[in-house]
Amino acid sequence: MNTIGFLSFEPWYILEETPIAKDILFFDKLMFSSASIASAELVCSNLPLRPCDKDLVKRKLKEIEIYMKAGLIIDYSANDFKKDYAIFHSIDETKDLGQYLIESDFENPYLDKNNPKDNIFGSLSSLREIVELKSRIFSIINNSKSSDHYIPIIREKYKKTLITEKLDISDAVRVVLKKIPIINENISIENVIEFKSDPDTKLKLGRLRNWITEVSNTKMSTKEMEEKIEYLLLEYSNHMNLHRIEYDFGKIETIVSTSLSFIENLAKLKLSEASKVIFDLTRTEIRLLKAENSAPGKEVAFINKLNKITSYNSL
């Protein structure tokens, strides 16, 4: 089963400098509505953008094209929705969201309509909310007909108090995505795929996703979850730092104390004794792996791994 993030593609997302790779590292694949990207491109083309912002739009669209060719981003087209129209009408939640889309004006009452900047901000905010609601609808539809798990990527929350709102899984994912470090935009797609295919990465990511599912079923608020992630990251990092120090000292001690023995036994053709030296080194590494598997905060080890990797600007 793949975990697929439904990308809310709107002008603000295009104009963000965060590379799409950040989302792709968490999800197995991304999906987006081609209708949303077309409207976002149209809006961006009519905005008073600076030259650097126009370049950013081109880079983001180029990035999407590259990942689509690699099969990591897939399209949910208007024709796909037409085929799924019966499913849309058969689910109460999608019908309610659809009705809300039709009936709501999505205006921000605190903005001054006579202020051009407020008008632009209000329009972009409204468009983001509309696109994100559609992403929720499309995710529900795809979840009902597929064994894969579709999660709408929600960047912001509107008309709710951040402190008091309760989590669903998209809210939990949103909090976690904020903690994932920004990947160097020059990282090749081959390196991204290689990193995602690494068994250790898969294990750590699986733990993180499982923890998100568990947390989303609790009454924890987003603020509480943010604090919990910070605590787990500190706890895991501290635990592993201590065990890595023990590992490094243990490895040095093993090498120094056994290297002469290894050479001596090999010279005397005592191969069984010589092989024990190699196993001593292996046991030291196994102890570190065991410490990692039992570490407090191991649920967020994936984020910790990304933080270490991005500090060296490579995958």
Average pLDDT value over all residues in the chain = 77
Residue predicted with more confidence, 171 or 185: 171
pLDDT, position 261 = 52
In a 13 Å sphere around the CA of 7, the CA atoms on its Cβ side amount to 32
Q: Decide if pLDDT at 86 tops 90.
A: yes
At 272, give phi and psi (nearest 5°): -65, -40
Which residue stretches of the chain are H helix? 11-15, 21-26, 34-45, 51-69, 78-83, 85-90, 92-103, 116-145, 169-179, 189-197, 199-216, 222-267, 271-293, 301-310
> CA torsion, points 231, 233, 235, 241, in degrees to nearest 10?
-160
- Give the confidence band of 184 by pLDDT, cuts at 50, 70, 90: confident
pLDDT, position 271 = 44
Give residue-wise pLDDT tens across range 217-270: 888 888 888 899 998 888 877 766 654 544 444 444 444 445 445 455 445 544
Q: Which residues pair with 5 in a beta bridge?
A: 30, 151
The SS3 assignment for 75 reads strand
As a whole number, mean pLDDT of residues 107-121 equals 70
Give residue-wise pLDDT tens across range 136-154: 999 999 999 999 999 999 8
Domain positions in the chain are 3-159, 187-315
- Left, alpha or beta for 163 (phi > 0: left; psi -120 to 50: alpha)? alpha
Give residue-wise pLDDT tens across range 29-72: 999 988 888 888 788 888 888 888 888 888 888 888 899 999 99
The pTM score is: 0.77
Q: CB of 87 within 8 A of CB of 145?
A: yes
Q: Which residues pair with 31 in a beta bridge?
A: 6, 74
